[in-house]
Amino acid sequence: MALQASKIQVGDTHTQKLTDDLSRTQIVQYAGASGDYNPLHSDEIFTTKVAGYPTVFAHGMLTMGMTGRMVTDYVGDGRLTAYGVRFTRQVWPGDALTATATVDAVREENGQSLVDLSVSTVNQDGDVVVMGKATARIDP
C-alpha cells in the first residue's frame, strides 16, 4: 500500500527495528551478494593486524540497504524517486539497529504527489550510523 498525501502530515514518523544483533554472517552474505569483498568486512586477521581496526565492520552499503527496507516498507513498492545517506559511524557485528523515517514535506510536482523524508538509523547506544533523505511518489 502506498502512502496517501491526505493521510500523512509533516512530522509523522515510521520506525522499524532492522536487527537485534548484526551477525558476521550477514556481513559475509552482503559481501557475496554485492560483490564487495573488501577484507575489512570479513577478514579478522587483516582487519585487526594489518588495517588496525578493533574487528571487522559492516559495509556502509549494507546499513543503507537494511535502512532501505524501512523506507520501502513505509512508502510502498517501486515508489522511491530518490534515496541518499551519509555514513556517519561504523556498524560492528553485534550492533542492534533501528531505522526511522520522518515526513519533512508533502508536496506536488507536475501533478504528482510526493513525500520528502528524513531517514536515520541508530545503533543500540542511540548513535546515528547513517542519515539521509528519501523522496517517494505517493497517492493524492
CA distance 42 to 29: 10
112 interacts with other proteins by CB under 8 A: no
Count other Cβ atoms within 10 Å, centred on residue 129. 24
50 interacts with other proteins by CB under 8 A: yes
Confirm if 4 and 140 have CB atoms less than 8 A apart: yes
Count of positions (residues) in the chain: 140
3-state SS class at 82: strand
128 interacts with other proteins by CB under 8 A: no
CA distance 89 to 94: 15
Burial tier of 90 (Cβ tally within 10 Å: 0-12, 13-18, 19+): middle
Residue 106 or 132: the one with the smaller Cβ distance to other proteins is: 132
69 interacts with other proteins by CB under 8 A: yes
104 interacts with other proteins by CB under 8 A: no
Which of 5, 12, 19, 96 is the binder for other proteins (CB under 8 A)? Answer: 19
CB of 5 to other proteins, least distance (A): 16
Smallest Cα–Cα separation from 17: which of 84, 69, 57? 69
Which of 4, 6, 15, 38 is the binder for other proteins (CB under 8 A)? Answer: 38
Which of 12, 24, 46, 96 is the binder for other proteins (CB under 8 A)? Answer: 46
Where along the sequence are the contacts to other proteins (CB under 8 A)?
2, 18-19, 26, 29-30, 32-39, 43, 45-46, 49-54, 59-62, 64-66, 68-69, 71-73, 76-87, 89-90, 92, 132
